[in-house]
Chain A
Amino acid sequence: GDSVTQMEGPVTLSEEAFLTINCTYTATGYPSLFWYVQYPGEGLQLLLKATKADDKGSNKGFEATYRKETTSFHLEKGSVQVSDSAVYFCALVYNFNKFYFGSGTKLNVKP
């Protein structure tokens, strides 16, 4: 069945460090891929998306490229800020527009 696997956290970085959060997926068709972010006490917010292979999603300095050959959608940011501290969820959408989410990766950024 369809599923998403993402790296376990927490990930702790110093401000301005480079961030990578790994995400791989299993899908029987051609899903769209997403990263959602959940700040403390808030609901899930769409961070970026890619709807087909080789697409790159980007937003707020974050990027992720849809790699069909490696079934991956890794999240990257060149220089993290304390305000980026949150839980990040990788997800795919396939059939009926329902999401399959990964288990989330908590990011802590220290000043």
Chain B
Amino acid sequence: DTGVSQDPRHKITKRGQNVTFRCDPISEHNRLYWYRQTLGQGPEFLTYFQNEAQLEKSRLLSDRFSAERPKGSFSTLEIQRTEQGDSAMYLCASSLARGGTYNEQFFGPGTRLTVL
């Protein structure tokens, strides 16, 4: 399977704990995106990388959230001191961007976080 993969698929944690999610994009894709999806809503943009550079962060991404893509391949999203409001599905997507043209984003299955 050469699609976008995410790990873990499900995470249950207690309030105040730190969690880290991993995303492995399609291997040749240079762009990687993180989205958050709450129940009954569409995905909301959090941040994206072009290679290892983080080019934009949403205001939704508070100081407790940090994302990295150290070698321009896989990415991690860490949430520190989790709160119940962080409970959501965290989606990763990747694309191959060339010049100014749009290229399709391929989504992973998501990591469902539940904060108790």
Contacts and interface: CB of A to CB of B under 8 A. Distances in A.
A82 interface: no
Contacts of B105: 46, 97, 99
Given A97-B48, A97-B105, A102 B56 contact: no
Nearest to A38: B107
A42 B109 CA distance: 6
B43 interface: yes
Contact of B40 (A36, A45, A99, A103): A103
- Contact count band on B: 20 to 34
Interface residues of A, number: 23
Interface string A83-111: 00000010101001111111110000000
B44 A101 contact: yes
Given A51-B102, A96-B48, A97-B97, A89 B107 contact: no
A43 interface: yes
Among B55, B105, B108, max chain A CB count under 10 A is at: B105
B87 interface: no
Contact of A91 (B42, B55, B95): B42
Interface of B: 3-4, 31, 33, 35, 40-45, 48, 55-56, 91, 93, 95, 97, 102-105, 107-110
Interface of A: 4, 32, 36, 41-46, 49, 51, 89, 91, 93, 96-104
